[in-house]
């Protein structure tokens, strides 16, 4: 098992095909996917053909994968995943931060803890210059995690999505953190 990093409570490791059942359970919780697809169920075939290949993908620009399975360090329980993937496959300059956690993990600080650790690793050893994160405007919990990690609001925007879901009429938001901002103190203030 390839481990990218560990925090006090988390292990972020490479995905394997053996994670299919955990991914299926995660993506079939309507509360978890509310801001992704409106809570629509996902089939095993959809997981195998869509998310799993993306989660297993290696990004040459970072020299590593862009998605990491999150496990509780003590119990080994699957909590969800974190994304830290380059916007351009061959370049580590800009990466997108993301996370999707089981409901049981919400409100316990895991999203912030894992995100801060990835940001720190990106800026200190992966050559990252800018971290971005996006969510629906109405996803206040995710926006709060971004802010706790030192990212600041950049812009509000709207896109045409194939499926209209509740809240999509309010558009999306983008947050960012540059390495220079992180070095000036945003990383320290964010608990890095």
Q: What is the pTM of this model?
A: 0.93
- What is the token pair recorded at 172? 């999306």
CB under 8 Å to 29, separation ≥6 — which residues?
Answer: 102, 103
- Are 10 and 72 a contacting pair, CB within 8 Å? yes
Strands 78-86 and 94-101: antiparallel
**What pLDDT, in 10s, does the model give residues 81-91?**
999 999 999 99
What is the structure's pLDDT at 107?
Answer: 96
- The pLDDT assigned to 187 comes to 54
Do 136 and 170 form a contact (C-beta atoms < 8 A)? Answer: yes
Residue 163: the pLDDT is: 76
Which residue ranges in the chain fall short of pLDDT 50? 188, 190-192
What integer pLDDT is reported at residue 159 of this predicted model? 84
Confidence (pLDDT) at 121? 96
CA-CA distance, 82 to 97, in Å (whole number)?
7
Q: Which residue has the tokens 């996006």?
A: 134
Alpha carbon distance 64, 82 (integer Å): 14
**pLDDT tens track for 47-78:** 999 899 999 999 998 899 999 999 999 999 99
| Cβ atoms 95, 85 nearer than 8 A | yes
């Amino acid at each position: 098992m390839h481990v990218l990093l560990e925090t006090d409570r988390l292990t972020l490791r490479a995905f394997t095909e053996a994670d299919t059942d955990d991914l299926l359970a995660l993506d079939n919780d309507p509360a978890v996917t509310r801001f992704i697809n409106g809570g629509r169920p996902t089939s095993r075939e959809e997981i195998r053909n869509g998310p799993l290949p993306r989660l297993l993908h290696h990004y040459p620009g970072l020299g590593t994968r862009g998605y990491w399975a999150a496990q509780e360090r003590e119990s080994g329980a699957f909590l969800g995943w974190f994304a830290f993937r380059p916007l351009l496959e061959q370049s580590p300059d800009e990466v997108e931060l993301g996370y999707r956690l089981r409901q049981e993990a919400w409100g316990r600080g895991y999203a912030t803890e894992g995100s801060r650790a990835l940001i720190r690793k990106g800026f200190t050893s992966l050559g990252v210059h800018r971290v971005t994160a996006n969510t629906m405007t109405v996803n206040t919990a995710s926006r709060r995690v971004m802010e706790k990690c030192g990212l600041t609001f950049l812009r509000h925007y709207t896109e045409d999505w194939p499926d209209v879901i509740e809240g999509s009429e309010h558009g999306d938001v983008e947050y960012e953190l540059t390495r220079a901002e992180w070095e000036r103190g945003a990383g320290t203030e964010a608990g890095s």
